[in-house]
Amino acid sequence: MKRIGMLTSGGDCQGLNSTLRGVAKALYQEYGDDIEIYGFRDGYKGLIEGKYRLMTKRDFSGILTIGGTILGTSRQPFKNMKIPDENGVTKCDKMVQTYKDMQLDCLVILGGNGTTKSANMLREEGCNVISLPKTIDNDLWGTDMTFGYQTAMDIATDVIDKIHSTATSHSRVFIVEIMGHGAGWLTLTSGIAGGADIILIPEIPYSLEDVCRTLEERRRSGHSFSIIAVAEGAISQEEAAMSKKEFKASRAAMTEPSIGFRLAHELNEACDQEVRVVNPGHFQRGGGPDAFDRVLTTRLGVGAARLIKHQQYGNMVALRNNEIVAVPLSEVAGKLKMVPVDDQMVETARAIGISFGDGIQTKKDKKKKKDKKKDKDKKD
Positions touching ligand F6P (CB under 6 A) are 11, 112, 135-137, 179-181, 232, 285
The residue among 194 and 280 lying less far from ligand F6P, judged by its C-beta, is 280
Minimal distance, residue 230 CB to ligand F6P, in Å? 13
The residue among 280 and 301 lying less far from ligand F6P, judged by its C-beta, is 280
Burial class (CB in 10 A: 0-12, 13-18, 19+), 288: middle
Burial class (CB in 10 A: 0-12, 13-18, 19+), 239: middle
Minimal distance, residue 119 CB to ligand F6P, in Å? 16
The residue among 11 and 194 lying less far from ligand F6P, judged by its C-beta, is 11
Minimal distance, residue 172 CB to ligand F6P, in Å? 26
C-alpha 361: how far from chain center = 27
- Active-site entry in 33, 59, 105, 137: 137
Minimal distance, residue 65 CB to ligand F6P, in Å? 21
If you ran DSSP here, which 8-state letter would residue 56 be given? -
Contact by Cβ (8 Å): 199, 188:
yes
Closest CA to 194 of 155, 225, 143: 155
- Say which residues have a Cβ less than 8 Å from residue 303's Cβ, sequence separation at least 6: 317, 324, 325, 326
The residue among 50 and 182 lying less far from ligand F6P, judged by its C-beta, is 182
Quote the CA–CA distance of 254 and 54 in Å, as a whole number: 48
Minimal distance, residue 151 CB to ligand F6P, in Å? 12
Q: What are the phi and psi torsion angles at 26 (to 5°)?
A: -65, -35
With CB atoms as reference, the residue minimizing the distance to ligand F6P is 179
Minimal distance, residue 152 CB to ligand F6P, in Å? 8
Minimal distance, residue 224 CB to ligand F6P, in Å? 32
Contact by Cβ (8 Å): 139, 336:
yes
Contact by Cβ (8 Å): 118, 76:
yes
Given its phi and psi angles, is residue 189 left (phi above 0), alpha (psi -120 to 50 degrees) or beta?
alpha
The residue among 133 and 314 lying less far from ligand F6P, judged by its C-beta, is 133
Is 59 one of the catalytic residues? no
Q: Report the SS3 class of residue 73.
A: coil
Contact by Cβ (8 Å): 248, 215:
no
The residue among 137 and 290 lying less far from ligand F6P, judged by its C-beta, is 137
How many Cα neighbours within 13 Å face the side chain of 119? 36
- Would strands 315-320 and 323-328 be described as parallel, antiparallel, or unpaired? antiparallel
End-to-end CA distance of the chain: 75
Contact by Cβ (8 Å): 182, 335:
no
The residue among 258 and 312 lying less far from ligand F6P, judged by its C-beta, is 258
Which residues are annotated as catalytic?
137
